[in-house]
């Protein structure tokens, strides 16, 4: 059976220690827009990268992906579309 | 000094029969009382909770879905903007996106069930019609891990209850659940939400309306942090869409078949609808009922809520093939969890609830022994759990049990998995899924069961993995159980006993409410203590417990007649015909109700003994007849033999062929004596019928009649001549026929006279002495003078000779 292709979006979840300012600076440095904290998950931020394809079966490449090299960036996850069905 | 709680006065205004002017009020069967019963109660007892004054005041519920029509006439009064957000559009307004298909109606429909305003002449009445209701628009766009996390962690200090009626695709081949951010959002909410008491996450169990799926592959319902809600139709039957799994906690009503009555709720464009179906309709109902309980006691933690649900849900009229009672005395099913929610029982429990002890999480060591899973075979792995006795996470009393499993397998849908607790409660963690062809297996997947709630953690846990190929498969790559581990959630202290040093949150008790019970317990209570003086107030029983329909239980020293005790200290009913028994089946009786008899060997109670049995009055039981008996009056009086046997006296013996007889010692037929045609034993004396040429004479067969016997010939009814030797009359020595007149010779001392033997005097014939030439008696005889008595006696010899 065809394996289900993952659909990558141009949104990222990032965990950055040090507070919102630090997060803002890192976002700017790599070309992301910091959309703010994710709910009430401390140190977790929603980054948006407008120049990445909105939906792709390939995870995104490019300079912005070097963000994961930043020491303050503890964790990063490019968001994948999940199939969710109403009951 | 124990004071029972003062009875609720039903006279206060709140108890007048409730009626609302809302248009669809009369169609809301799942809230109503039964039509014709005063002080009636629907099965979810929502009116009962309302009558106690609980309608969801000061409780905030939000619906995670495709938005909420916040200006709906039935919603705007209770709408709470602080409990709302548009994650898809990243703005504050959760209004749904309208289009011709009306696809974004789901959230609005769910919201109405929870908190549609009452008595506003519009549409319906929400179950928690005074609660605050919000909505999060998060399904109407790309749903990502981050979108879910944002929704689940919205305003956790303001929102009490999150209700979600969605999940991974239920196409029968998906295994999916919350990813890392969503999982963190759950944990965050549980840890810090509601000022540390934990957010309440209510989830629709895994169905989506497609078949052959199993909700244990849905990681949201499998989570211990979500209260997974199942559905039942008004009739109590399983709705067509329902999936069964062991993580379901409880059930509320929903739509069933097309002939079942429907759920009514608010709809897009200010309308009402009865098309809201499935567990989508059940989850918000459950959220609203929990809101009533939170109003009754705002200090309840997320685990208190689950404990109260377990304690108060009832099997009632819900029909399921797998209802079982676990060792803690709770009835539970894979279809409905612990049964139908009971709003009134929940608010009553909530009013006087003492917070349960802190949660302990015991992660038992992983079993990394690799086992091959072969088609049509079972892999059985036993793990002896200690419940982490040696560390602070010691778990004695269970809540949730999670099994983390890693399996490789060529066809995941062919697997089914069971877990049996030390108390013997079996949970089906996974059933076969016909459409799941995946070769991915399970990678550290967490299956969860609620079925062991309240049981003891320590002991042998048995994991069974069945491989049932649904189609031909390559045998080259068999499945492998790589690793599995148990995670036991629960407490080391009994969850419902008060320990003196236990921190009790007494501010939730008002002074007038009943104080804790600290009087003496019934002798049948064990060391766990009690909540009152009676045997039904015990926390746990010293000996056995009787469980009643209303879920209460009573401790007893012995099980009453008509009950038997099982290995879990429960008194379980015998079959109706038994007086006493060792099990609930009809063939496990030990004594019978009056008028019935215990059938030996079958252990059943019968009104009359069947073939091969006789009634033993002493023991009032049907005992087995001797081996060869078909019917008997007692153990040694056979009245009818089985085929192949023949009755010999009171015994049945093997029927032997003519010319043979049954030798009891050798247990075989043996030949008769040659003179016998048939016989009852060996030797010529045992003949019962003679062979040809022989004559029957006193159980013997002889070729000619012995002396003292004469030959008798009788013609039987069928014209046959029966020849036998019959005994002569006792007066004859020999004879030629029956009676005393057919003698042919006499014994000494008797003379034969005219065929009869008469006592002879001394017969000295006159001829012998006194008379010369003896001619005197000859003269007497010649002149026929023998009939003269005197002359007959004088010449007795000559007279008795013939001729």
Residue B457 contacts residue B383 (beta carbons within 8 Å) = no
pLDDT of residue B389: 93
Give me the residue label for tokens 């429990």.
Answer: B349
Q: How confident is the model at residue B287 (pLDDT cuts 50, 70, 90)?
A: very high
pLDDT of B7 strictly over 50: no
Dump pLDDT digits (tens) for B456-499. 999 999 999 999 998 887 777 889 999 999 999 999 999 997 54
Q: Could you give the residue numbers annotated as active site of B?
A: 65, 106, 280
Separation of alpha carbons B641 and B637, rounded Å: 11
Q: How far apart are the first and last CA of chain A?
A: 25
Interatomic CA distance for residues B2 and B113, integer angstroms: 41
Partners of B283 on chain A (C-beta within 8 Å) are 87
Chain A residues within 8 angstroms (CB to CB) of chain B: 1, 7, 9, 11, 13, 35, 38-41, 44, 46, 55, 77, 79-87
A86–B280 CB contact, under 8 Å: yes
* Higher pLDDT among residues B358 and B725, named by residue: B358
Res B711 pLDDT > 80: yes
Quote the minimal CA–CA distance from B185 to chain A in Å.
7
Number of H helices, E strands in chain A: 1, 5
Return the sign of the alpha-carbon dihedral for residues B684, B686, B690, B694: positive
Q: Give the mean pLDDT of B75-97.
A: 97
Measured between beta carbons, the chain B residues lying within 8 angstroms of A11 are 142, 144, 146
Q: For residue B170, which residues of chain A lie inside 8 Å, CB to CB?
A: 85
Across the A:B interface, residue pairs with CB atoms under 8 Å apart total 105
Q: Pairing relation of β-strands B200-204 and B226-232? A: parallel
CB-nearest to A84 from B139, B173, B283 is B139
**With contacts defined as CB-CB under 8 Å, which chain B residues touch A87?**
165-167, 204-209, 278-280, 283
Looking at residues B23-38, what average pLDDT do you find? 75
* Residue predicted with more confidence, B667 or B341: B341
Name the burial class of residue B566, with classes exposed (0-12), middle (13-18) and buried (19+) by CB atoms within 10 angstroms of its CB.
middle
pLDDT of A1 over the 60 cut: no
Question: B638 vs B597, B617, B635, B647, B654, CA distance in Å?
Answer: 20, 17, 8, 8, 13
Residue A9 has pLDDT above 60, yes or no: yes
Q: Is B186 on the interface with A (CB under 8 A)?
A: no
pLDDT at position B772 is 39
- Mean per-residue pLDDT, B787-794: 75
- Phi, psi (rounded to 5 degrees) for B285: -60, -45
Q: How far apart are CA B686 and CA B698, in angstroms?
A: 10
Question: Is the minimum CB–CB distance between B434 and chain A shorter than 8 Å?
Answer: no
Nearest CA in chain A to B150: A39
Q: Which of B309, B354, B319 is nearest to B454 (CA)?
A: B309
Greatest mean pLDDT among B1-5, B352-356, B709-713 lies in: B352-356
SS (H, E, C) B176-194: ECCCHHHHHHHHHHHHHHH
Give B269 or B568, the one with higher predicted confidence: B269
Q: Would the CB atoms of B170 and A85 count as touching at under 8 Å?
A: yes
Low-confidence winner among A14-28, B251-265, B383-397 (lowest mean pLDDT):
B251-265
Say whether A79 and B145 touch across the interface (CB within 8 A): yes
Is B179 within 8 Å of A82 when comparing Cβ atoms?
Answer: yes
> Is there a contact between B146 and A79 if contact means CB atoms under 8 Å apart?
yes
Of B104-108, B120-124, B168-172, B558-562, give the lowest mean pLDDT range. B558-562
Interchain proximity A46–B169, CB inside 8 Å: no
Indicate the pLDDT class of residue A4, thresholds 50, 70 and 90: low
Give B114's Cβ-side CA count (13 Å radius).
38
Say what the pLDDT of residue B34 is: 53
Would you call A39 and B153 a contact, using CB atoms and an 8 Å cutoff? yes
Confidence at residue B382, expressed as pLDDT on a 0 to 100 scale:
96
From the candidates B165, B181, B201, which should be mutated to test the interface with A, based on the most A CB atoms within 10 A? Answer: B181
pLDDT of residue B720: 77
Chain B nearest-CA residue for A8? B144
Lowest mean pLDDT among A21-35, B44-58, B205-219: B205-219
Q: Nearest CA to CA, how far is A11 from chain B (Å)?
A: 9
- What does the pLDDT average to over B708-720? 83
Query: B392: helix, coil or strand?
Result: coil
Q: What are B107's two structure tokens?
A: 């959230």
Rounded Cα–Cα distance for residues B290 and B294 (Å): 6
Residue A54 burial (10 A CB sphere; 0-12, 13-18, 19+): exposed
Whether the CB of B168 is below 8 Å from some CB of chain A: the reply is yes
- Give residues 42 to 81 of B whose Cβ lies within 8 Å of A: 65-66
Instruction: Give CA angle at A33 (B187, B156), nearest 5°.
Output: 25
- Beta-strand pair B200-204/B161-164: parallel
Least confident window among B4-8, B197-201, B545-549, B705-709: B4-8
B463: left (phi over 0), alpha (psi -120 to 50) or beta: beta
pLDDT top residue among B711 and B156? B156
Q: Which of B144, B150, B437 sits opposite A9 (nearest CB)?
A: B144
Give me the residue from B90, B179, B208 closest to A87, CB to CB.
B208
Q: Which residue has the higher pLDDT, A25 or B565?
A: A25
| A79, A86, A87 member nearest B144 (Cβ) | A79
Burial B245-272 (b: 16+ CB within 10 A, else e): bbbbbbbbbbbbeeebbbbbbbbbebeb
pLDDT band at B677 (very low <50, low <70, confident <90, very high): confident
What confidence score (pLDDT) does residue A5 get?
77
Out of B149, B167, B174, name the one closest to residue A39 (CB).
Answer: B149
Give mean pLDDT, residues B7-28.
63
Say if B198 is an interface residue toward chain A (CB within 8 Å). no
Instruction: Name the DSSP class of A41.
Output: -
| B508: pLDDT strictly greater than 80 | no
- Residue B627 forms contact with A (CB below 8 Å): no
Which residues does chain A have within 8 Å of residue B190's beta carbon, measured at their own beta carbons? none
CA atoms of B453 and B435, how far apart (whole Å): 32
Which range of B107-111, B313-317, B544-548, B725-729 scores highest in mean pLDDT? It is B107-111
Sheet of strand A8-16, all strands in order from the earlier edge strand to the far edge: A33-37, A44-48, A8-16, A73-80
Range with the lowest mean pLDDT among B264-278, B301-315, B734-748, B764-778?
B764-778
- The length of chain A is 87
10 Å CB burial of residue B512 (0-12, 13-18, 19+) is exposed
> What pLDDT shows up at residue B544?
84
* Residue bearing the bigger pLDDT, B510 or B59: B59
Contact B800, B785 (CB under 8 A): no
Give the E-state strand segments of B659-797 in sequence order.
Answer: 660-663, 668-671, 676-679, 687-690, 695-697, 700-702, 709-715, 721-727, 734-735, 743-745, 750-753, 756-759
Name every chain B residue with its beta carbon within 8 A of the beta carbon of A38. 146, 149-150, 153, 181
What residues of A are in contact with residue B139 (Cβ under 8 Å)? 84, 86
Which residue of chain A has the CA closest to B284? Answer: A87
ipTM of the complex: 0.94
Using CA atoms, how far apart are residues B467 and B46, in angstroms rounded to an integer?
Answer: 45
Closest Cα in chain A to B411: A1
Count Cα atoms within 13 angstroms, Cβ side, for B90.
11
Which of B144, B152, B180 lies closest to A39 in CB terms?
Answer: B152
Nearest residue in B to A45, CA atom:
B146
Of B173, B181, B283, nearest to A38 by CB-CB distance is B181
Cβ–Cβ of A82/B152 closer than 8 Å? no
Residue B503 in this model has a pLDDT that exceeds 60: no
Chain B residues near residue A50 by CB distance under 8 angstroms: none
The mean pLDDT value of chain B amounts to 86
Q: Which residue has the higher pLDDT, B774 or B231?
A: B231
Q: What is the pLDDT of residue B209?
A: 67
- Tell me which chain A residues have a C-beta less than 8 angstroms from the C-beta of B208: 85-87
Task: Evaluate if residue B769 carries a pLDDT over 50.
Answer: no
Give the per-residue pLDDT at B225. Answer: 98
Least confident of B172-181, B233-242, B359-368: B233-242
Asked if B144 lies within 8 A of A41 by C-beta distance, the reply is: no
Residue of B nearest to A46 (CA): B146
Which among B149, B153, B280 has CB closest to A87?
B280
Least confident of B106-115, B159-168, B723-732, B761-770: B761-770
Q: Are B208 and A85 an interchain contact pair (Cβ–Cβ within 8 Å)?
A: yes
């Amino acid at each position: 059976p065809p394996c289900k292709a993952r659909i990558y979006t141009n949104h990222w979840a990032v965990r950055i220690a040090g507070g919102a300012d630090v997060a803002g600076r890192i976002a700017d440095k790599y070309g992301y827009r910091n959309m703010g904290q994710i709910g009430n998950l401390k140190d977790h931020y929603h980054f948006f990268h407008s120049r990445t394809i909105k939906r792709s079966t390939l995870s995104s490449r490019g300079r912005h992906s070097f963000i994961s090299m930043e020491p303050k960036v503890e964790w990063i996850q490019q968001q994948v579309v999940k199939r969710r069905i109403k009951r | 000094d124990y004071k029972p709680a003062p009875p609720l006065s039903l006279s206060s205004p709140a108890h007048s029969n409730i009626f609302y002017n809302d248009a669809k009020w009369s169609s809301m069967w799942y809230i109503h009382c039964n039509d014709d019963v005063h002080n009636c109660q629907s099965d979810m007892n929502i009116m009962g909770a309302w009558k106690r004054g609980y309608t969801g005041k000061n409780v905030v519920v939000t619906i995670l879905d495709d938005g909420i029509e916040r200006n709906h006439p039935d919603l705007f009064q209770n709408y709470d903007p602080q409990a709302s957000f548009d994650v898809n559009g990243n703005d504050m307004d959760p209004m749904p996106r309208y289009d011709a298909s009306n696809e974004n109606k789901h959230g609005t429909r769910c919201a109405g069930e929870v908190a549609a305003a009452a008595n506003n002449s519009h549409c319906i009445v929400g179950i928690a019609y005074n609660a605050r209701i919000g909505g999060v628009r998060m399904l109407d766009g790309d749903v990502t891990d981050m979108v879910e996390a944002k929704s689940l962690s919205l305003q956790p200090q303001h929102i009490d209850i999150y209700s979600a009626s969605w999940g991974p695709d239920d196409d029968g081949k998906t295994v999916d659940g919350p990813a890392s951010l969503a999982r963190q959002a759950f944990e965050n909410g549980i840890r810090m939400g509601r000022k540390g008491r934990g957010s309440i996450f209510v989830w629709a169990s895994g169905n989506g309306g497609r078949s052959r799926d199993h909700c244990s592959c849905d990681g949201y319902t499998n989570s211990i942090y979500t209260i997974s809600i199942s559905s039942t139709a008004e009739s109590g039957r399983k709705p067509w869409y329902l999936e069964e799994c062991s993580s379901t906690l409880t059930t509320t009503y929903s739509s069933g078949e097309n002939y079942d009555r429907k759920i009514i709720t608010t709809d897009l464009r200010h309308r009402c609808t009865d098309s809201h179906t499935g567990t989508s309709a059940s989850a918000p109902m459950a959220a609203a009922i929990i809101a009533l309980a939170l109003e009754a006691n705002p200090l309840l933690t997320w685990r208190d809520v689950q404990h109260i649900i377990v304690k108060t849900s009832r099997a009632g009229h819900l029909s399921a093939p797998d209802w079982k009672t676990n060792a803690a005395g709770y009835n539970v099913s894979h279809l409905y969890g612990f049964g139908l929610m009971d709003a009134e029982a929940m608010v009553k429990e909530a009013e006087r609830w003492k917070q349960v002890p802190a949660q302990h999480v015991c992660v038992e060591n992983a079993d990394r022994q690799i086992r091959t899973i072969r088609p049509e075979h079972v892999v059985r792995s036993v793990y002896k759990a200690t419940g982490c006795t040696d560390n602070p996470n010691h778990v004695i009393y269970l809540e949730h049990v999670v099994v983390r499993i890693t399996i490789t397998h060529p066809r995941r849908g062919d697997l089914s998995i069971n877990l049996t607790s030390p108390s013997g409660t079996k949970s089906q963690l996974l059933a076969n899924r016909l459409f799941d062809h995946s070769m991915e297996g399970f990678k550290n997947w967490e299956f969860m069961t609620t079925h062991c709630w309240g049981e003891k953690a320590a002991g042998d846990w048995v994991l069974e993995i069945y491989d049932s190929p649904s189609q031909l498969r390559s045998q080259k790559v068999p499945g492998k159980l790589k690793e599995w581990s148990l995670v036991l959630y629960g407490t080391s202290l009994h969850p419902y006993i008060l320990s003196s040093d236990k921190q009790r949150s007494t501010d939730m008790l008002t002074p007038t409410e009943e104080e804790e019970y600290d009087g003496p317990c019934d002798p049948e209570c064990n060391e766990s203590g009690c909540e009152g003086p009676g045997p039904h107030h015990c926390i746990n029983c010293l000996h056995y417990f009787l469980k009643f329909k209303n879920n209460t239980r009573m401790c007893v020293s012995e099980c009453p007649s008509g009950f038997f005790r099982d290995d879990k200290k429960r008194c379980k009913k015998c079959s109706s015909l038994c007086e006493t028994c060792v099990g609930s089946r009809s063939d496990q009786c030990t004594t019978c109700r009056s008028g019935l008899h215990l059938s030996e060997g079958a252990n059943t109670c019968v009104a009359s003994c069947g073939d091969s049995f006789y009634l033993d009055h002493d023991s009032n039981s049907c005992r087995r007849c001797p081996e060869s008996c078909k019917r008997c009056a007692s153990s040694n009086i056979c009245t009818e033999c089985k085929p192949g046997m023949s009755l010999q006296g009171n015994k049945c013996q093997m029927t032997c062929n003519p010319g043979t007889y049954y030798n009891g010692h050798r247990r075989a037929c043996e030949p008769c004596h040659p003179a016998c045609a048939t016989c009852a034993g060996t030797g010529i004396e045992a003949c019962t019928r003679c062979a040809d040429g022989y004559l029957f004479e006193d159980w013997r067969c002889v070729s000619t009649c012995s002396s003292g016997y004469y030959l008798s010939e009788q013609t039987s009814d069928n014209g046959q001549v029966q020849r036998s030797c019959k005994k002569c009359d006792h007066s004859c020595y020999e004879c030629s026929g029956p009676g005393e007149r057919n003698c042919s010779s006499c014994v000494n001392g008797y003379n034969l006279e005219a065929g009869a033997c008469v006592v002879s005097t001394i017969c000295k014939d006159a001829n012998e002495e006194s008379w010369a030439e003896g001619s005197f008696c000859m003269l007497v005889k010649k002149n026929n003078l023998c009939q003269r008595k005197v002359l007959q006696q004088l010449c007795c010899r000559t007279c008795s000779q013939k001729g």
